Amino acid sequence: MLIGGLITAALIVYLRMRDRALTQMQNAEKHYRELFDSAPAMYVITRDEKGVPIISDCNALFLKTLKYERKEVIGHSLAEFHSPESRLRLLSESGYRGAMAGRIVSGERELVRSDGRIIPVLLRGDPIADDEGTIVGTRAMYVDNREQKSAEEQMRLVVESAPNGMLMIDSKGTITLVNTRVEQLFGYRRHDLLGKSVEMLIPQRFRGSLQRLREEYFSDPDARTVGRGQEIFALRMDGSELPVEIGLNPINSSGGLQVLASVLDISERKLVEEEIRALNVTLERRVKQRTEEIEALNATLEQRVIERTKELETENSQRRSIESELQHAHDELQRSVLELERHNQEMRLVSEMVELLESCRSVDEAYEIIIRRLPLLLHSTSGALYMMRASRNFLDYVGCWGEPTCEFEKTFDPEDCWALRRNKPHGMESEESDLICKHVEDAESPAHPYLCLPMVAHGDIMGLLHIRYTRENEVGRNITANSAKAISEQLSLILANLRLRETLKNQSIRDPQTGLFNRRYMEDSLDRELNRAERSGKPLVVAMLDLDHFKNLNDRFGHSAGDAVLQEWSNILKSKFRGSDIVCRYGGEEFVIILPEIAPDAAHQRLDQLREDLRRMIVRQDGQSIESVTVSIGIAYYPVHGRTMLDLLHVADQALYRAKEMGRNCAVMASQEPREEARSDWSLRTS
């Protein structure tokens, strides 16, 4: 009885477990079928029968698009649903045969609906293998390609609105598309360029090499460098040459592979680069001059040794005197050698510092290197480095070295330093030693002598090198002063060079009117932040802002007032966001703000407060008071509203549009299902 009961219980448990497993399998199969039928692309599963792809399954979109019932498709050859031309490619090595050989195939195909209508599609075919690895069939994904022409038209609108010159050429070098900016750059009318060879825009001496590059670009996909700028000279209609930067991007259009070239006028950049080159030449000339001085000193020392040796040979009779003189000469030589070694060591350290400074990416990075290296060059000293503000009314403390007990003014007027007043070195031991600089008196009573050295480049005072001597430096004070003067001159040239480089960089990423980042920098930054958000899994908020009735404000108060409002609004934007936030001028009175790693609700609250700050803003211009300026804000965030830059900007623009519809002066968060019908309107606006 007991054993029978146990067997019965075990059987019941087994049957329940089997029923549960069958139920789970049925649910999994149902879930797979729901996903398969709800896929946004057409899917077809085939099995191989003697080299013929027979359809074993397909999803609902395939049946809906081709207008067939499932029973009319299952068991039939996949080739029956292709056009005659597409059928040949289907059964070729680049199609079904390639997939059965284990390769992934892709390309353009034509499917035929039940009513005979041709549907252009894009194909991706993958092999299907059984448990033993044998390929038994294929999985084909088809994507409807009828929107290709619409996309090409949108591309044309984007090209026309681009700030750079944009032209498209085919593999033969024929111009197929240009924008208005190309007409402005080269002086041609649009109809004079279309259908003509791109070589008409290239000077004769460059045409041969550019033709070879074009042929290589079209023939070898691996050799293509997408978007990378290349500097060349272009030829205007009037025969003059123009330095430009060319960026190339391959475009697959209905006419085949073409290249979209971006043409940027770099005349101003070339002028700045020439100034930098001139500064480098000046610096090299200074280094060469110091090297020649060292060589001359070596030659002098050698000559003195020779002279002393000859004297010893001729005065052999006066041995004791000669020995005394020889010892004296030896001591003098030792001092000279030590001085030369010290000088060589100093030059080596200076060269190392110059090399490091030339590799710096910013002036702030250079300041840190200078403060760390100066104690190695100016032994037994303390000091500080000051830089002149752009307004030229104050000098700001950058850093110091030496004794920690020394105190230095953090900010002072140039008039407080005698060296800056007279544009020449000044110290306590000069002829005017009773004249102590006010910035030294204000810091502390000077316990030791000091030296102030103006840092001058191209006739402009850009800073001050302030040195304080210690008691240990009493003997070598003159040597230190001479070295400091030479170092100050070199540092001035290098820092001027770095400032020019920073100016060039800011010109490329900043909007000149507001000082905010420009649209190009915004696009690069948004791509970078999207990648970072994808890796970290944290949200990324994108907001699009538009000043309400800005055109009416310009018409009423004048463009100078409009510029003042833009400037004050930009100052508010700069002061209200974190260092990791990116604030950009998108164009006109439109702005884009990128907020990484912030909750959408918190971002919404901050942006709504920003709207209130603008409403309370008062701008006074030409005796007029401008107030109650309002802004409409649209907000979208990753990943709910999109995973690409285009999608996020599109959704944020939709939300901005709704804010305008709601009466303006509000911040609107996009819904989780943005309206698709607004996408084309937004595409036209951004174009």
Confidence of residue 541 (pLDDT cuts 50, 70, 90): very high
627 three-state secondary structure: strand
- Provide the mean pLDDT of the chain: 81
Residue type, 508: S
The mean pLDDT of 43-55, rounded to a whole number, is 91
The mean pLDDT of 310-320, rounded to a whole number, is 75
Confidence of residue 577 (pLDDT cuts 50, 70, 90): confident
pLDDT of residue 92: 78
Residue 52: left (phi > 0), alpha (psi -120 to 50), or beta? beta
More confident residue, 56 or 283: 56
Q: Of 4-18, 39-53, 187-201, 263-277, which gets the smallest average pLDDT?
A: 4-18
Q: Is 149-265 assigned to CATH 1.20.120.330?
A: no
What is the secondary structure of 243-273 as a DSSP string? EEEEEEEEEEETTEEEEEEEEEE-HHHHHHH
pLDDT of residue 544: 96
pLDDT at 210 over 50: yes
The mean pLDDT of 292-311, rounded to a whole number, is 84
Tell me the per-residue pLDDT of 433-465, one tens digit each, with 9 for 90 and over.
Answer: 668 888 887 665 555 688 899 988 888 888 999
Q: Of 192-196, 587-591, 643-647, 673-677, which gets the smallest average pLDDT?
A: 673-677
Q: Retrieve residue 288's tokens.
A: 């060469």
pLDDT of residue 676: 42
The mean pLDDT of 177-190, rounded to a whole number, is 88
Q: Which CATH number fits domain 273-504: 3.40.50.10420, 3.40.50.1370, 2.10.60.10, 3.30.450.40?
A: 3.30.450.40
466 CB burial (10 A radius; 0-12, 13-18, 19+): buried
pLDDT of residue 225: 55
Q: Is the dihedral of CA 475, 478, 481, 487 positive or negative?
A: negative
More confident residue, 652 or 574: 652
Fold of 39-146: Beta-Lactamase (3.30.450)
Domain locations along the chain: 1-35, 39-146, 149-265, 273-504, 519-686
DSSP class of residue 583?
A: E
Confidence of residue 306 (pLDDT cuts 50, 70, 90): confident
pLDDT at 131 over 90: no
More confident residue, 82 or 153: 82
Nearest partner of 262 among 271, 249, 278, 280, judged by Cα:
249
Cβ distance 265 to 282 under 8 Å? Answer: no
Q: Are both 149-265 and 519-686 of the same fold?
A: no
pLDDT of residue 152: 63
Four-CA torsion 171, 175, 180, 185, nearest 10 degrees: 90
pLDDT at 328 over 80: no
Q: What angle do CA 62, 66, 67 make, to 5 degrees?
A: 105
The mean pLDDT of 482-490, rounded to a whole number, is 80
According to the per-residue pLDDT averaged within each range, which of 290-304, 376-390, 528-542 is highest? 528-542
Q: Which CATH number fits domain 519-686: 3.30.360.10, 3.30.70.270, 3.90.1150.10, 3.30.450.20?
A: 3.30.70.270
